[in-house]
């Protein structure tokens, strides 16, 4: 069994030697889990087909689900994708940060990285450790969330260790992540900006920048996206703990449950009958930050059902709903 090397790394002052070592591992084609501001990523050289294949194997990820490539500058993005003026404007406004742009891919990106598509998803994270690692390795780093496919995403190093400890080479541990949900993914290849996955950057932020964003069906307003332009990754059941997840929607009565041990997470207070396994958040921001950790925690507590407060479609509420909805399937 492989034994992963775990290094504590100060977020604001990353140890140069540790970053050098991790960057060397990336260049050698190994798997390195590292913190970003959204969730922990499982990184490999995005331009090395064999290295990227290891990501899919370690996670048990379907091969048609493309990866996000992480860069440390706009210039690095332009080396691997055709970036329109509009894309560059969005990058200048929102990078580094939780916004991923899907653009037409350049030849240099292996098909395995882009799930066989002719587009590639790119993001520049703001976490100092992520940026240091990308810069030091000198190559774009493909990194999906560092969890087993289908499980709640990892927002601390323990979660990465629990899922992948025996399958990867290095974990950089900088403590819990800030945003807590993955990046917002938009497609900027067409006439209009299409939201492929709601995430850490609220759609309202894009709209106040002057972009009219088309939301996928179900996330609604009135326009629909056709299925082909959706993100392959949003088709799967995902983010799910091993127990059942029930959604408690606004205006609905509390669900009748015939189980003894119930877990709860959300902003609204549950009825007092729920017991001790209750995690309350004071805002949508805190909810997003604590969502995956709470799911993993309640699962470890051995609850039979998790009831989750289903927030409104505003701000981070859209991303929280998406994750909870998919955790509740199946």
Using CB under 6 A, list all residues that contact ligand AMP.
65-68, 102, 114, 117, 119-121, 144-145, 182, 185, 196-197, 231-234
Indicate if the alpha-carbon torsion angle 284, 199, 217, 321 is positive or negative.
negative
CB of 183 to ligand AMP, least distance (A): 7
For the CB of residue 235, give the shortest distance to Mg ion in the complex, in Å: 13
When the beta carbons of 136 and 156 are compared against Mg ion, the nearer one is 156
| Residue among 86 and 237 whose Cβ is closer to Mg ion | 237
Q: How far apart are CA 298 and CA 324, in angstroms?
A: 14
If the CB atoms of residues 19 and 67 are measured against ligand AMP, the closer one turns out to be 67
Residues 6 or more apart whose Cβ sits within 8 Å of residue 17: none
Closest CA to 35 of 239, 181, 152, 171: 171
Binding site for Mg ion (CB under 5 A): 144-145
Residue nearest to Mg ion (CB): 145
Measure the CA–CA gap between 131 and 137, rounded to whole angstroms. Answer: 10
Least separation in angstroms between CB 155 and Mg ion? 12
**Residue 214: which of ligand AMP, Mg ion, none does it interact with, CB under 5 to 8 A by kind?**
none
DSSP bridge pairs for 44: 142
Minimum CB separation of residue 199 from Mg ion in Å reads 11
How much is the CA Rg of the chain, to the nearest whole Å?
19
Dist. CA 57–CA 204, nearest whole Å = 36
CB–CB of 328/241 below 8 Å?
no
In the bound complex, what is the minimum distance in angstroms from residue 85's beta carbon to ligand AMP? 20
38 contact choice in Mg ion, ligand AMP, none (CB below 5 to 8 Å, kind-dependent): none
């Amino acid at each position: 069994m492989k034994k992963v090397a775990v290094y504590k790394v100060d977020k604001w002052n990353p140890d140069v030697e540790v970053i050098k070592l991790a960057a060397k591992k990336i260049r050698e084609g190994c798997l390195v889990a590292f913190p970003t501001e959204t969730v922990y990523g499982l990184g490999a050289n995005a331009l090395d087909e064999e290295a990227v294949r290891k990501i899919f194997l370690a996670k048990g990820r379907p091969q048609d689900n493309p990866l996000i490539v992480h860069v440390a500058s706009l210039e690095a993005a332009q080396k691997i994708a055709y970036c329109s003026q509009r894309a560059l404007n969005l990058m200048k406004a929102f990078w580094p940060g939780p916004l991923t742009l899907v653009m037409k891919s350049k030849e240099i990106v292996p098909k395995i990285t882009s799930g066989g598509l002719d587009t590639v998803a790119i993001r520049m994270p703001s976490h100092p450790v992520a940026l240091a690692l990308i810069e030091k390795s000198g190559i774009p780093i493909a990194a999906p969330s560092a969890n087993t496919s289908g499980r709640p995403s990892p927002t601390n190093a323990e979660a990465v260790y629990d899922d992948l400890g025996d399958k990867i080479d290095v974990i950089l541990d900088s403590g819990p992540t800030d945003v807590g949900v993955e990046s917002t993914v938009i497609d900027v290849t067409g006439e209009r900006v299409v939201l492929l996955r709601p995430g850490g950057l609220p759609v309202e932020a894009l709209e106040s920048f002057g972009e009219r964003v088309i939301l996928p069906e179900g996330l609604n307003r009135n326009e629909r996206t056709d299925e082909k332009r959706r993100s392959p990754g949003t088709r799967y059941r995902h983010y799910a703990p091993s127990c059942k997840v029930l959604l408690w929607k606004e205006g609905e009565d509390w669900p009748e449950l015939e189980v003894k041990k119930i877990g709860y997470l959300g902003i609204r207070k549950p009825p007092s009958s729920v017991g001790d396994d209750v995690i309350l958040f004071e805002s949508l921001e805190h909810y997003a930050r604590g969502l995956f950790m709470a799911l993993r925690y309640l699962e470890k507590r051995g609850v039979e059902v998790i009831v989750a407060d289903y927030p409104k479609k505003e701000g981070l509420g859209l991303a929280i709903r998406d994750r909870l909805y998919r955790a509740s399937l199946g």
